[in-house]
Amino acid sequence: MLKSSQRSGRSGVATSVKDPCTLTRQLGRSHAASSVRAGAAAPAARAEPQRPARPPAGAPGAAADRQGQLWERAAAGLAAAAMSVCLTLAPAAPPAALAAEAPAMRTEAATAAAATATAAGEGATAAGSSGSGSSLLAGKGAKLQPVYFGNGCFWGRQKDFVEVERQQLGRTSPEQLTAVVGYAAGGGEGPGGRVCYVYDVDARAHYDSLGHAEVTQLGLTPAPGPQQEAELRAFAKTYFAQFKKTPFGMLRSDPQDRGAAYRNVIGLPGGIRSPLFHIIEEENVNGMALREGRGNTDPAAGVAEDDVFNGVWVVDSEALPFYRAERYHQFHNGLGKKFPEEYTRELRSQVAAAGKIDPTGCLELPMF
């Protein structure tokens, strides 16, 4: 997804949809402007090349400066989110369709930015934003055994796993679905127990800075046995099918997203010592290198487990827990591919009503 360009300077693939993305940039600026207007007391984002030194905490003006930072970050995130929207809508929707959505998107943007600034100022964190507890999987239902799979941008990966659940495992109701996207295999949490996307106002909570990768978490029947193994086998088969064969090895479907945040990783209870690991080995039909991983648990020391071509890190999901991503990332359109509204709108709303994608305390952005 285009998100990486904000942090690494890459331009993504926006140039292939130049005109629609130009309109989307304009909408993004409108969102940011609406957000700033929504906080009447908040100072507008500043654009001077060099800022004066910020006042120390407790000094006069420190609170106002901090509030200004929050609004700036929210506005920047909204503009970047608009660019992400163009990648999914531009191939299928004409500019008029995007423009028609603008009023509602502005309203959502203002609400989201205001709520985020309030939460950040109070240090508030929603319950259920962190940890790999099975309650995150089951919502109000029975507890399940969590596992996770990651290989690049998690948007399209979640759709694949949802279809496995619905079509192969008979999980036809929103309450039965377990596939949610998030972050895992890193060095714990940011302030307040939060792990957030890179648009959040507090860089200390950014998932990539904490060493995490983008993953999809799934639930298995908790009791060991044939049913649990069949479920994992279905997920593993789909996971390895998501790679593309090349003369040099297996390639992710989105190689433009690079870095440890997009590394190939599988989380099992016990890692390679799990009694379920043999299923991963059996479904690895193209012979990708399965490497024992211990996670990027000390980002300050550098990246220990990077984005390795034709390889997959297998980690202990109990030692390296899952942190659910923001709601706007859930049931999202694919990278350059628009999914049916039954998935992106209706199903997401139903899963939200089941309590499975509640707010995490991180910045929420309006997405389609």
> C-alpha distances in angstroms, 185 versus 12, 194, 292, 359?
25, 15, 12, 21
- What residue type is assigned to position 42 of the chain? A
Burial pattern 203-227, b for ≥16 Cβ within 10 A else e, equals eebbbbbbbbbbbbbbbbbeeeeee
146-196, pLDDT tens digit by residue?
Answer: 999 999 999 999 999 999 999 999 999 999 999 999 999 999 999 999 999
What is the rounded distance in angstroms from the CA atom of residue 91 to the CA atom of residue 73?
A: 29
CA–CA distance, 63 with 349 (Å, rounded to integer): 37
Report which of residues 74 and 323 the model is more confident about. 323
pLDDT class of 300 with cuts at 50, 70, 90: confident
Helices (H) and strands (E) counted in the chain, each on its own, are: 10, 9
Contact call for residues 89 and 98 (beta carbons, < 8 A): yes
CA dist 243 and 241 (Å) reads 5
Q: What are the structural domain ranges in the chain? A: 3-122, 135-353
Q: What pLDDT is stored for residue 168 in this prediction? A: 98
pLDDT digits (tens, 9 = 90+) for 15-70: 333 333 334 334 443 443 343 334 333 333 333 334 344 445 455 555 555 555 55
Give the pair of three-digit tokens for residue 38. 């929504």
What 8-state DSSP symbol labels residue 169? S
Q: What is the DSSP letter of 105?
A: H
